[in-house]
Structure 1
Amino acid sequence: MMCHVLLSSIVGMGHHRLIMSRTERLFRLMDALRHLPPPVTAAQLGQELGVSERTLYRDIEVLRGQGAVIDGAAGYGYRLIEDSSLPPQSFAEDEIEALVLGLREVAALGDPALAKAARRAHAKLRARLPERQAHRLRHAVLTAHRFQPPLAPTVDAAALRKACWDEHTVTFAYSDKHGQDTRRDVRPLSILLMDRSHCLLAWCCLREDFRAFRLDRMTDLEVTGTSFRPCRVPLLREFQEKLRAETKLSGDAF
Structure 2
Amino acid sequence: MNKSERLFALLTLLRARRYAVTARVLSEAMDVSERTIYRDIQSLQLSGVPITGEAGIGYLLDKRAHLPPLMFTEEETMALEVGMKMVRAWSDKGLAKAGQSASAKIQSVLPDHLKRQLDQIPVLVPDFHIESDFAAASETIRNAVSSHQIIYFDYLSGEGVATKRCVQPLGQVFWGKVWTLVAWCELRDDYRSFRVDRISGLVVTDRKFELSDEKSLRHYLQRYRTFS
TM-score bracket, normalised by the shorter chain, equals 0.7 to 0.9
Matched pairs, number: 220
- 2:215 and 2:119 map into 1 onto residues whose CA distance is 40
- 1:24 and 1:132 map into 2 onto residues whose CA distance is 18
- 2:226 and 2:41 map into 1 onto residues whose CA distance is 43
Q: 1:235 to 1:44 in 2, by over 3 A?
A: closer
- 1:121 and 1:79 map into 2 onto residues whose CA distance is 29
- 2:139 and 2:76 map into 1 onto residues whose CA distance is 27
Aligned-partner residue type, residue 110 of structure 2? L
**Alignment check: 8 A CA contact 1:108 1:145 kept:** yes
- 2:211 and 2:47 map into 1 onto residues whose CA distance is 39
How much identity, in percent, do the aligned residues show? 31
- Which deviates more, 134-143 or 76-85? 76-85
Q: After superposition, what is the alpha-carbon deviation per residue over 1:183-227, rounded to whole angstroms, capped at 9, x for unaligned?
A: 322111121123542210111112322211122222333333433
Unaligned runs of 5+ residues in structure 2 are: none
> In the TM superposition, what is the alpha-carbon distance from 1:97 to its structure 2 partner?
2.0
Root mean square deviation of aligned Cα: 3.3
**Alignment check: 8 A CA contact 2:20 2:53 kept:** no
> In the TM superposition, what is the alpha-carbon distance from 1:92 to its structure 2 partner?
1.7
**Alignment check: 8 A CA contact 2:91 2:135 kept:** no
TM-score by length of 2: 0.77
Give 1:193-232 correspondences, 5 Å limit.
193-231=174-212
- 1:232 and 1:175 map into 2 onto residues whose CA distance is 30
Q: After superposition, what is the alpha-carbon deviation per residue over 1:102-141, rounded to whole angstroms, capped at 9, x for unaligned?
A: 2222222222322232222211110122332233233322
1:184 alignment counterpart: 165
Unaligned runs of 5+ residues in structure 1 are: 1-20, 249-254
- 1:155 and 1:187 map into 2 onto residues whose CA distance is 18
- 1:138 and 1:201 map into 2 onto residues whose CA distance is 37
Larger Rg: 1
The partner residue of 1:74 within 50, 54, 64 is 54
